[in-house]
Amino acid sequence: MIASPLTLDPVFSIGPAPITEPVLVTWAIMIGLGGFAFLVTRRLKLVPSKAQTVLETVVGAVDDQIRDTMQTEPARYRALIGTIFLYVLIANWSSLAPGVEPPTAHLETDAALALIVLGATIVFGIGTRGLGGYLKTFAEPTWVMIPLNVVEQITRTFSLIVRLFGNVMSGVFVVGIVLTLAGLLTPIPLMALDLLTGAVQAYIFAVLATVFIGAAVGESHEIALEPSEQKRKQP
């Protein structure tokens, strides 16, 4: 990747809509993930296979993360948080495929994810607290904080975009530069580092999304804990 990461060239167009590479890679990820999920979940059993065990481990980890962060039952947020984590992880790791540029290395994909998180924050906040209750959260702890809280909503969304974009884009960019300057196998350590960075960034993005939604939902989610969950949380 030696072209500017801030520009996108359409691969082809569907009517007025130009289809760029991140969109194509995302469709490929959607097909792969959806197909894998469909194939594996067709034959779920009480005694799990290896693939089912992997899926259950991932889902369980997502549930635990939501439960630990939001202190609430994870069912309502599982699909969004889990999908964001899996998509960002696979998108970051897609750079391992030759000639594939990660969609997350472009601002549009990161902005789309951040906008979804922002929208989810607002939807879940209003859904839990009501419109008035949600708006009141901007006046906490005092009304003086309203401008700062509004700015915080925007800036933390931008921080999500920039953090993910910067980390993934820089990794891909560095690998491209090293590959241009050095031999064929030289960037392998950097690619391995990109794997770690990509996993960490996926985790960070998912956790931050959970934190933002949890903050919007507020303390009222405590009542949503099931008795079994409350018992589990006791030391």
Partner 1 sequence: MKIDWWTLGLQTVNVLVLVWILSRFLFRPVTAIIAERQASAARLLDDARAARDAALVEKAKIDEEAARQAAARTVALTSAAAEAATEKTALLAAARIEAEQKRVAAETEFFLARQSETAATADRASLLAVDIASKLLDRLPPEARVVGFIEGMASQLGALPPSTRHDLATSGEEARLKAPRALTDEELKACGAAFSRAIGRPVIFAVEIDPGLIAGLEFETRHALVRNSFRFDLDRIATELTRHDHARQ
Return the residue of 45, 142, 181, 234 that touches partner 1, per CB under 8 A.
Answer: 45
CB under 8 A: which stretch of 20-28, 64-72, 163-171, 175-183 binds partner 1? 20-28
- How far is Cα 120 from Cα 22, in angstroms, rounded to an integer? 23
Half-sphere exposure of 157 (CA within 13 A, CB side): 19
Least distance to partner 1, CB of residue 142, Å: 35
Q: According to the binding rule CB under 8 A, does residue 202 interact with partner 1?
A: no
Site for partner 1 in 73-92 (CB under 8 A): 75, 78-80, 82-84, 86-87
The Cα 190–Cα 218 span in angstroms is 40
| DSSP string covering 164-189 | HHHHHHHHHHHHHHHHHHS-SSTTHH
The DSSP letter of residue 96 is: G
The single residue listed with the structure tokens 């369980």 is 60
Give CA–CA dist 31/63, Å, rounded: 24
Q: For residues 41 and 186, which CB has a smaller minimum distance to partner 1 in the complex?
A: 41
Interacting residues toward partner 1 by CB under 8 A: 6-8, 17-20, 22-23, 26-27, 29-30, 33-34, 37-38, 41, 44-46, 48, 52, 55-56, 59-60, 63, 75, 78-80, 82-84, 86-87, 103, 106-109, 111-113, 115-116
